[in-house]
């Protein structure tokens, strides 16, 4: 945070939030890994199903037998994503309690509610993005394992590159979106903390 504008006015931009968020992730890697793992597992399940469907369609287009995904598997995917969101929300709430003093200090030196909110949202976007990439990679592996014996492991080469890219970018976007949704409530709670009470708080 810096005071480059009017006297008494604190400037806290996206760059500051990214720097502080990245520093926190490095400092508490275990907590960050829990969030990333929650996102990655949910996205991995989704990517596995979508890629399996793509592999089956490519197999049929190449003259193979008709194959399809059972409808109940999509319900399992939906449940996995819900569990992922709940897990992230719980982890971020715990992180908020652990950082009461840090939040109180930031508020005492001029940080406003929106600055604290931005900080937590940026952290969630970083972790969501990493989780999305890992989830997609796990999804590719899972889809190849589940379909390889039937379609051949080279089936991935028969899926259009644009389709693979769309699934990859979609996985990252969805993971960042889910992380943001899961973080909104804990972040709003953190933003509304009374700085004096936060500084007196002991975990």
User: pTM score, two decimals?
Assistant: 0.79
Does residue 79 carry a pLDDT above 50? yes
Using CA atoms in the order 60, 62, 65, 70, what is the torsion angle rounded to 10 degrees? -30
Distance CA 15, CA 3 (A): 14
Does residue 4 carry a pLDDT above 60? no
Q: pLDDT at position 171, please?
A: 92
Question: What integer is the mean pLDDT of 34-39?
Answer: 85
Q: Is the dihedral of CA 173, 84, 41, 144 positive or negative?
A: negative
pLDDT digits (tens, 9 = 90+) for 87-108: 888 878 887 777 788 888 888 8
Does residue 7 carry a pLDDT above 50? no
Instruction: List Cβ neighbours of 47 (8 Å cut-off, separation of 6 or more).
Output: 135, 136, 138, 139, 140, 142, 143, 167, 171
Does residue 54 carry a pLDDT above 70? yes
Question: What integer is the mean pLDDT of 152-156?
Answer: 82
Q: pLDDT at position 69, please?
A: 66
Pick from 153, 95, 165: nearest CA to 123: 95
| Separation of CA 176 from chain center | 4
Q: H helices within the chain, ranges in order?
A: 14-27, 29-61, 71-98, 100-108, 113-151, 161-191, 195-200
Does residue 135 carry a pLDDT above 90? yes
Q: pLDDT at position 5, please?
A: 43
Please, are residues 125 and 168 in contact by the beta-carbon 8 Å criterion? no
Instruction: List Cβ neighbours of 102 (8 Å cut-off, separation of 6 or more).
Output: none
pLDDT digits (tens, 9 = 90+) for 155-200: 888 888 999 999 999 999 999 998 888 888 888 888 888 877 767 7
């Amino acid at each position: 945070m810096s005071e480059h504008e009017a006297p008494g006015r604190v400037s806290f931009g996206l760059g500051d939030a990214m720097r502080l968020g990245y520093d926190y992730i490095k400092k508490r890697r275990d907590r960050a890994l829990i969030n990333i793992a929650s996102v990655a597992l949910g996205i991995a399940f989704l990517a596995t199903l979508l890629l399996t469907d793509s592999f089956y369609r490519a197999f049929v287009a190449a003259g193979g037998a008709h194959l399809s995904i059972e409808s109940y598997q999509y319900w399992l995917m939906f449940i996995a994503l819900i569990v992922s969101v709940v897990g992230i929300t719980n982890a971020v709430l715990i992180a908020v309690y652990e950082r009461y003093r840090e939040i109180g200090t930031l508020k005492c030196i001029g940080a406003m509610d929106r600055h604290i909110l931005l900080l937590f949202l940026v952290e969630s976007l970083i972790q969501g993005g990493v989780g999305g990439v890992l989830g997609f990679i796990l999804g590719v592996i899972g889809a190849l394992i589940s379909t390889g014996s039937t379609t051949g492991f080279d089936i991935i080469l028969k899926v259009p590159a644009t389709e693979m890219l769309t699934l990859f970018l979609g996985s990252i976007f969805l993971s960042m979106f889910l992380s943001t949704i899961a973080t909104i409530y804990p972040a709003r709670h953190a933003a509304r903390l009374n700085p004096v009470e936060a500084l007196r708080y002991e975990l």
